Amino acid sequence: MKIFLVFWFSLIFSLHLKSQVCADSVGSSKYLKIVQGSSGSFLNRVEISSDIDSTWTKWRERGYSFGFDPARTPMYTTVNGILSTLFMIQVRGNDNEINKKRWGFHLFEGYACDDKSRITLLVNKHIELGRPVGELYYYSTVYNHSEPAYNWLRIGSDVSMHSFLFSRDKAVFYGSLTLNNLFTLGNIGKEQVRTEKQEGDAEKNAKEDARFVNFTAIKESGDGAMFYDKDRNIVVIKVDGKWMKMVVEQLPDSIQYKF
């Protein structure tokens, strides 16, 4: 009986080793790897990769190479079919993001039919107000940081003349807006505007370009536009094409806030 059990155990073990060798030799390669999940485990995971080839023809196209060093970034890995999963898609972070994410920031890019304009999602390109920023925008075929380079991004629906549109320096709300906190008017004075556009790229001259954006918005505003004139401590509103001061008064003694 012992000899019989030893025989069957040896047979099963040899078949297992044979299957592992076959998986390693046939199912695993430089480009498609079957990797052991953990030490001592018979469970595996899959890795897919492409070579680095700086002469790849697609690297000649800006939409592929922009923000990457083709000498350090692998060629794109293409799946000729619809990706579907019952789980999630995740982009991991690295100590050195350069040549992994575009410019080291981009998490996602979805291109339109022209194969140039795209929706882009990125993280940590900027730190503003003391915190890292995540950014989402619809980039046009004008590959720079000017105002025309950014299309409208609609949030809320796919219905024309509805929901909420966002671009580089403008937002259009077709729907109503309910706030559960304060509404603060723009505090604008002479230090917050400049009458001439700063030469050069808007990203490299962000502060000065923002001042010109303020000037343009005030100059081109329509009736109903409002802002707080911080130099004169007044609230102004445009009525019938003219800027007018809004009349305010002190609170009565019966109303006192504890802040």
- Measured distance CA(212)–CA(194) in Å, rounded: 5
Q: Where is pLDDT greater, at 13 or 65?
A: 65
Least confident stretch, 19-23, 105-109, 141-145, 159-163: 19-23
Q: 3-state DSSP call for residue 242?
A: strand
Q: What is the pTM of this model?
A: 0.83
Alpha carbon 178 to chain centroid distance? 26
Mean of the per-residue pLDDT values for the chain?
A: 90
- Measured distance CA(117)–CA(106) in Å, rounded: 15
DSSP state, residue 230: T
DSSP state, residue 101: B
The arithmetic mean of pLDDT across residues 179-208, rounded, is: 96
* pLDDT tens, residue by residue, 83-129: 999 999 999 999 999 999 999 999 999 999 999 999 999 999 999 99
Domain limits, the chain: 179-259
Of the pLDDT bands very low, low, confident and very high (cuts 50, 70, 90), residue 49 is very high
* pLDDT tens, residue by residue, 16-42: 444 454 445 445 688 999 999 998 889
